[in-house]
Each structure stands twice: as structure tokens, then as C-alpha cells.
Amino acid sequence: AASAAAAVTASGPRVIALADLSSALAEADVVVNILPLTPETRNFYDAVFFARMKREALFANMGRGGSVDEDALADALKSGTIAGALLDVTATEPLPPASPLWELPNLILTSHYSGFHPHYDEMVLEIFLDNLGRYGRGEDLRNVVDKRLGY
């Protein structure tokens, strides 16, 4: 389970213990989710979380859609609890036409695009070829996913 988070405040970026996250939220201008989806992170960003953010703050989800309680986010955006949000991922993709998220003027929705990079294919090929060599030599592989952990 995660034990630390990063925050960017007026004094610059810093790493904080999750136990100190609540106080950091009151200072943060932008909160960006890049968490994997695990039992511990499902709906991690809920109504209580958004209520701890300052009203001028923005929330961005580039991690996993299931880590955000989308109803709580919609309520926070409608009520002005937070100023705005950007979602590159949602719990259900594509986002259903009936989702209330479509109607929020202070929400930007993108189509799961944050992972694209102009040199993505070359990067993937380099990792694949390196891992192929490592496998042949009996060495540990790079970027291994542990399904038990969820990432």
C-alpha cells in the first residue's frame, strides 16, 4: 500500500506522508491522481477528500477511473467545493452518454490520451527487446506487473 504522496504548494514540490495528506490538500492548487487501482485506492477520491481541498483547487485524474468516486466529484464541481477537474480516465470507458459528468462546465474530459507519446512505439520496442535479453539470461525483467498488487 502507498505510504507517501507528492504535493506542489507555493513553496514548491514536496513528498508528504499519507497521514499528512489532509493538511496538504488545504494548500494544494492542483491534485493529480496517478494511483493504480487496488482495493485500497478504489474510490480513494471521495466527498471527504474533495471537501478537504481548497475551493480554488483543480483535480486531475490520469491514473485509474475507479479511484475516483465520480458522483462525489460531480457534486464537488456543481457545488463549487473545488474549482474544476480534468479526467483522462473514467470508471467506465467510454463514459456512458447518461453520465452527469458530460454536463459540467468546469470539467474537461479527454479520451484516455495521457499515455500517448510520439515515440511510444520505439520506447515499447526498446523495453521489449531489453526484457527479451534479460529473460534469456535469467535476469529480472523491467516493468513487471504484479497482479496480486493490482499494478
Active site residues: 64, 93, 112
Q: What angle do CA 134, 137, 139 make, to 5 degrees?
A: 55
Decide if 65 contacts 40 (C-beta within 8 A).
Answer: no
Give the three cell numbers for residue 127: 523495453
Number of Cβ atoms within 10 Å of the Cβ of 85: 24
- Give the list of residues 6+ apart from residue 93 with CB closer than 8 angstroms, or none: 65, 112
Backbone φ, ψ for residue 15 (5° rounding): -100, 135
> Helix, strand, or coil here: 31?
strand
CA–centroid distance for 95 within its chain: 16
